[in-house]
Amino acid sequence: MSNRDALMVSGLRAGLTLQAVGDLYGVSRERVRQIAVKQGLVTSELRRQASQQWDRYERRVARHIFGVSLSHPELTLEELAEWAESDVDTVRAALGHRVAVHEVSQNSWSAGLPDDELLEALREWAASATSHGGDEYTSWAQERGLPGKQTVQNRFGGWNNGLIAAGLSQHVRDRGGLRPVISDEEMWASVLQFLRDDLTSYSFQSYEAYAAERQMASGASVRVRLGSWATIKEQVRALMRYAVDRDGSWEWAESILEIVAGDAPRNTVSRDQAVEAIRKVAERIDGPVTVMAYEDARDADDPHASIAQKRLGSWINAVAEAGLTDRLSGKSRGKWQRGEYDVA
């Protein structure tokens, strides 16, 4: 066997096709096959071996990509491809569900009717509705070709949150009981931990189950306080990238990275505590007790105005419960006098 024939056979054994070897040495595919047969090689067996070899290679690459993903969730898909000396499509196939950690996709419900138009639709419906439940709104909306309750829940983290955003908090029924108050920083830390863990899914629904098992901030609370799920994930990805090389330059990120989600101290704010906080702040300020005035004057350990709104049903109800209807703003006092807000 000549040296050239030996090189051709070696190429076939290494996984090259008949055509590839022929092109390399300037001979026909048939001539390469004849040389292979002469040396006792079965081309079908060579193809089978080459396929097995390629499968093993793909599995090695996939394991490498997945391992790098677990160790470096901050990397983009393009950066992972560079690590593996591969391409983005291969990275996607290797990661499967973990693509969601490295790429933020927009939910289908994020498109469509803008938030301000959706809120205006809620207000229009509420003005004529006799019952203010989500199902009633859905029936009204469908007759007009508008998105229903589910879209409101997705956009604002819950039906009641949508009502509040539309200025319809008088239709939110107070559920009573103590509610845990979790800082925004701990909420960010909760989502950060979620995306860092090795899980089977990284969807919003999966976060809700994950958070419930660990007594972390609920998905609805996270979305109301921090924004849309896509926006939250984008910011958390920025946190992960900063965490790789922390230098103290990003104070906000440093405060979050110091938190162990679920371990931060919690406060609980009762209805009476919210009312008392409003009374206390009202003594220190002049003029109407508005949300803005309260937020500007409250101490760090006083509950947020949003907590008072949730505990009492609305800010007007909260101020009224504190016995301060004379300190309502002119607009709020008018609503109070017209009976547009009930005392919770």
The region that residue 96 occupies, defined by phi over 0 for left and psi between -120 and 50 for alpha, beta otherwise, is: left
Q: Which range among 2-11, 52-61, 131-140, 171-180 shows the weakest confidence by mean pLDDT? A: 171-180
Nearby residues of 41 by Cβ (< 8 Å), 6 or more positions away: 9, 12, 13
Whether the pLDDT of residue 172 is over 80: the answer is: no
Q: What percentage of the chain exceeds 90 in pLDDT? A: 29
pLDDT digits (tens, 9 = 90+) for 261-272: 766 555 557 788
Confidence of residue 255 (pLDDT cuts 50, 70, 90): confident
pLDDT digits (tens, 9 = 90+) for 110-121: 456 787 888 899
| CA pair distance 322, 326, nearest whole angstrom | 11
pLDDT of residue 343: 41
Pairing of strands 179-181, 267-269: antiparallel
User: CA angle 133-173-108, nearest 5°?
Assistant: 50
pLDDT tens-place string over residues 107-160? 544 456 787 888 899 999 999 988 888 889 999 998 888 988 888 877 776 677
Whether the Cβ atoms of residue 326 and residue 320 lie closer than 8 Å to each other: no
